[in-house]
Structure 1
Amino acid sequence: MSLAGVRVGVAMAASHCNLHRAVATMKALVAAGAQVTPILSPEVLRVTTRFGTPDYWRRQVTEAAGTAPLTTVPEVEPSGPEGWFDVLAVMPCTGNTVAKIANAINDSPVTMAVKAQLRNGRPVVLAVTSNDLLGMNAGNLGRLLAVRNIYFVPFGQDDPVRKPRSLDAHVEEYLIPTLEAALRGEQLQPLLVPWG
């Protein structure tokens, strides 16, 4: 299957240390012919970290996707009624975002995009990255593993010795195949993959 012409929403939660990976993967989606619409968490546009300023990330995302990001709930809300996306990828998908999705909390452009996509019975792909997905957040992860139309980029423990509760999706290798599988209604397997 090809992603040429496929309408992909890319919703980016505020895992600042992983934003560069999301931007690089967004460029790969565009190169594969996808029509990419970026959606940014307010925290990406509010917080300056050692990984970059809000203006830096807005420029990076706009350049990668070829279009300015959606940044508010009202901007994203019509994506459901108007059916904007064939598939929605949440990358990076933080533990906070996992918890909100699992508990139907809709308070940001990212969670609004997920709600709108699921409303239409269309696929949502989560690229999880969190230091607590095998800890306090494991129940939320387990809940989402059983939800129809939610798919996961294969993930593994990125540092099982120093961070035994941490999981990280292999977006560089598996995002595009996961999107293709999700569009067929399938979860890419294996789901659990070794790191490195």
Structure 2
Amino acid sequence: MTKATIGFAMCGSFCTFSKAFTQMQRLVDSGYDVIPIMSQNAFSTSTRFGKAEETVKRAEEITGKDVLHSVVQTEPIGPKKMCDLLVIAPCTGNTLAKLSLGITDTAVTMAAKSHLRILRPVLLCVATNDALGASAQNIGRLLNTKNIYFVPLKQDDCIKKPNSLVADFDKLEDCVTLALQGKQHQPIFL
């Protein structure tokens, strides 16, 4: 029995992809129907963390669905009520800024805009080196935005990267359950 349908959108914080895929698999194993979504960068960029083709293949193997990776493909998410919840994991500082300012120019930001316009929840799993710098204002705005929820954040290396925050990916499934109920996991900052 399917619990709910979750859009699982990935942005280009490539160093956290392995954590994101672990959570994607956990959601599928827990009975959620998961629709994979990737920004153009996540979909097409090969890095030291993996080749683009392998990344796309992994998402499709976990979910059994083709990755949505264009604005045209993700625009119907809201009107067709394709998801009960949209998870953005990882959510980069770039995507945080776009979401906080209403910019819709990627598959992920379109998925979020389309989903939010029908008043459904979006769960952000942030991974950015400037969360306590330039991205702090965007996090602040989004904390006060209806239907936006956060996976709890923590500093990943307070000495070498004092402005960096990364969500605790292991809390993602608990946050999914709460966001579907309209509740924010507490505490937000670990």
Structure 1: how far apart are the matches of 2:188 and 2:103?
25
How much is the aligned-residue C-alpha RMSD, in angstroms? Answer: 1.0
1:21 alignment counterpart: 19
Structure 2: how far apart are the matches of 1:170 and 1:98?
17
Structure 2: how far apart are the matches of 1:45 and 1:83?
24
TM-score relative to the length of structure 2:
0.97
Runs (4+) off by over 6 Å: none
1:116 alignment counterpart: 114
**Number of corresponding residues:** 190
2:97 alignment counterpart: 99
Return the letter of the residue paired with 1:67: K
The 5 Å alignment of 1:126-145 reads 126-145=124-143
The 5 Å alignment of 1:42-191 reads 42-172=40-170, 174-191=171-188
Q: Among all aligned residue pairs of Structure 1 and Structure 2, give the percentage whose two residues are the same amino acid.
A: 43
Structure 2: how far apart are the matches of 1:167 and 1:44?
20
1:133–1:166 CA contact under 8 A, matched in 2: yes
Question: Matched residue of 1:179: which SS?
Answer: helix
1:24–1:64 CA contact under 8 A, matched in 2: no
Structure 1, residues 1-60: CA drift from partner, whole Å, max 9, x if none? xx9430000010011111111111100000000000000110122221111111111111
Structure 1: how far apart are the matches of 2:182 and 2:52?
35
TM-fit CA distance, 1:129: 0.4
TM-fit CA distance, 1:67: 1.2
Gapped regions of structure 2 (runs ≥ 5): none
Structure 2: how far apart are the matches of 1:181 and 1:100?
25
Structure 1, residues 41-92: CA drift from partner, whole Å, max 9, x if none? 1012222111111111111111111211111111111111111110000000
1:91–1:126 CA contact under 8 A, matched in 2: yes
Return the letter of the residue paired with 1:176: E
TM-fit CA distance, 1:171: 1.1
Structure 1, residues 105-147: CA drift from partner, whole Å, max 9, x if none? 0001000010011101000000000000100111111000100
Structure 2: how far apart are the matches of 1:102 and 1:72?
20
